[in-house]
Homo-oligomer: A and B are copies of this chain.
C-alpha cells in the first residue's frame, strides 16, 4: 500500500454517482442537437474548414448496444491544477474499458509538452488505485506549454500517429480548449483520425457559456477558501481588533470571490467587474473602505473582513493604463502625467513590484501584485489623514489564498462531475467527435438527470484582437452584474457592512448529511 493518510484511503472507496445515461455506455446512443450558427460563422468556417459545422450532441439511453473495437486514447492536463482532474482520467479509463476491455489509455507527462516530446506512460487499473477521488494532477503532471506552432503540431501529430490514438483528451481552460480546436482542425486536415476532445477545467470559473455550465475545480477551491475565510471572520469577531484583507485567486474574473462572499458574508467585498463598470478609481476604493472602517468604529467595531479578487488591479481604470504604459516602456520618466501621479500614489513596495517583477515578455506580472497589502497600506494612510474623525487604532492583517485551493481532495460535486466528464469524453471518442468539448448539462439537478453532451469547440468562439491579429478565442465569462448571483449579493451586502452576518462554512465534509456533503456552488443554484 502506498503511504496515504486515513482520509485519502477512505476516499478511495467513494464511488462517483452517475447520470443515468452513463450507466450503460454501450447503449448510450448519440442524438444531434439543432443549433444556430454564431455570428462569426463565416470567418470560423474559413478557419476550420475540416471541423466546422458539426452540431452539438447529446446521449440517450437506447436498447441497442453499439459494437466497437478497442480504443487507444491519450490524455493530458494543461495549465493550473484543479480538484477532480484524476477523476476525469478515472472516468475516461473506466468508460473505455467498459466500451471494450482491451482499450488502452496513455497519459502524456508534464502537460502538452509531453505530447510534443512523446513523453507518455500507459495508465493501468492499478495505477489509478491510489488516485480515485484524490486531489492534484500528479499521476501524469501538468504544464503550460502550448501546442501552437506548425512544428509543435507536426510533432504532436507524429506522436499520436505512432501511438495510433483514436482520441486525445485535453483537460484545460479556455486557452487549452482553443488550442484543442486548432489541433483538431490540423489533425483533420492531415487526414489523421485522432479525435481531439476538450474537458473544461479551471478553478477560476470563467470557462462558462451556453454550453459549459461550470468548469471543474471551482467548487472545491471555493469550499476551501470559504472554510478559511469563515475561520478568519470568527477570529476577527472574537479578537475584535484586526481588519483582515484577504485576496483570493481567480485571475481576471471575480467568480471565486463572489461565491466565497455568498458562503461567508464578509463586511466588504470588491468585485472587479463592478469597479470597472463604475470606473472607480483606486483613491475612491480606498476612501470607501476607510468610510466603512470609520462607520464601524462608531459602532465600536474595530475589526472586519474584506475580500479582494486577484484580478482587481487590472479593472481599476487608471491602474490599467499605468500597467499598459509600463509594459511599453519600463521607465518612470516615460509615463504620462496622469500615470505618473497614479504611480506616485502607490506605496513603495508596490512601485517596486511594478518595476521589478516582469514576466519573460517584459510585462508587469499582475498576479504577483499584492493588492491586499496595497489596499491595507493606503487605507492606513487615509485613516491617518482622518485622525480628526477617526480615533481608533487601525490594525490590519493580509492574506492570500490561492495554491491551497487547487489541489485539495475534490468535493463530492467535483468528484462526480469529473468522473462524468471523463465518461462523456470516452463516448465522444467513440463518436469520432473531433474538436468537441465534453459538457454536462443540468448540473443544478439530481445527478441521475445530468445530461452528458459534446459541443464543437468552434461553436464557442468569438474573435479577439491579439497582437494586432483577429484570433478565435473562447470568451472568458466575467461576473454578470445583471445576473442573479450578483444581484442577490448586492441586495444583502448592505447588511453585512455594519452588522456582522458572518457564516462559518467549516471544513469540507465527505460523509454524513448530503445537504452538506453534496452541496453544489451557490452561483449555480441561485
Q: Could you tell me which A residues sit within 8 Å of B by CB distance?
A: 3-8, 10-11, 77, 80-81, 110, 134-138, 141-142, 224, 227-228, 230-232, 234-235, 237-240, 242, 244, 263, 265, 397, 399, 403-409, 501, 503-513, 515-516, 519
When distances are taken between beta carbons in the complex, the residues of chain B under 8 Å from A519 are 6
Q: Assess whether B138 is in contact with A232, with CB atoms less than 8 Å apart.
A: no
Bound: A519/B7 CA distance, A: 11
Q: A231-B407, A232-B404, A506-B408 are in contact. Are A515 and B6 (CB under 8 A)?
A: yes
Q: Assess whether A227 is in contact with B507, with CB atoms less than 8 Å apart.
A: yes
Q: A10-B513, A238-B136 are in contact. Are A405 and B5 (CB under 8 A)?
A: no
Q: A6-B515, A234-B136, A515-B6 are in contact. Are A141 and B240 (CB under 8 A)?
A: yes
- Given contacts A77-B238, A138-B238, list 15 more A-B pairs with CB under 8 A: A3-B503, A5-B230, A5-B503, A7-B505, A80-B239, A81-B235, A81-B239, A135-B231, A137-B239, A235-B403, A235-B407, A238-B407, A244-B403, A409-B504, A409-B506
> Interface of chain A, helix or strand or loop or mixed?
loop
Bound: A399/B399 CA distance, A: 9
Q: A6-B519, A135-B504 are in contact. Are A407 and B513 (CB under 8 A)?
A: no
Q: How far is the CB of A133 from chain B (nearest CB, A)?
A: 10
3 closest Cβ pairs, A-B complex = A511-B512, A507-B507, A136-B234
11 CB-based A-B contacts, threshold 8 Å:
A3-B503, A6-B516, A81-B234, A81-B239, A224-B507, A231-B403, A231-B404, A231-B408, A235-B406, A235-B407, A510-B512
Partner among B137, B239, B399, B405 whose Cβ is within 8 Å of the Cβ of A238: B137
Bound: A81/B231 CA distance, A: 11
Bound: A506/B83 CA distance, A: 12
Q: How far is the CB of A168 from chain B (nearest CB, A)?
A: 20
Q: Assess whether A508 is in contact with B511, with CB atoms less than 8 Å apart.
A: no
Bound: A63/B404 CA distance, A: 54
Residue of B nearest to A135 (CB): B234
When distances are taken between beta carbons in the complex, the residues of chain B under 8 Å from A508 are 507
Q: Assess whether B142 is in contact with A239, with CB atoms less than 8 Å apart.
A: yes
Q: A81-B235, A235-B403 are in contact. Are A505 and B408 (CB under 8 A)?
A: no
Partner among B4, B6, B228, B235 whose Cβ is within 8 Å of the Cβ of A513: B6
When distances are taken between beta carbons in the complex, the residues of chain B under 8 Å from A134 are 504
When distances are taken between beta carbons in the complex, the residues of chain B under 8 Å from A80 are 239
Q: Assess whether A403 is in contact with B232, with CB atoms less than 8 Å apart.
A: yes
Bound: A120/B164 CA distance, A: 77
When distances are taken between beta carbons in the complex, the residues of chain B under 8 Å from A7 are 504-507, 509, 516
Q: Assess whether A4 is in contact with B503, with CB atoms less than 8 Å apart.
A: yes
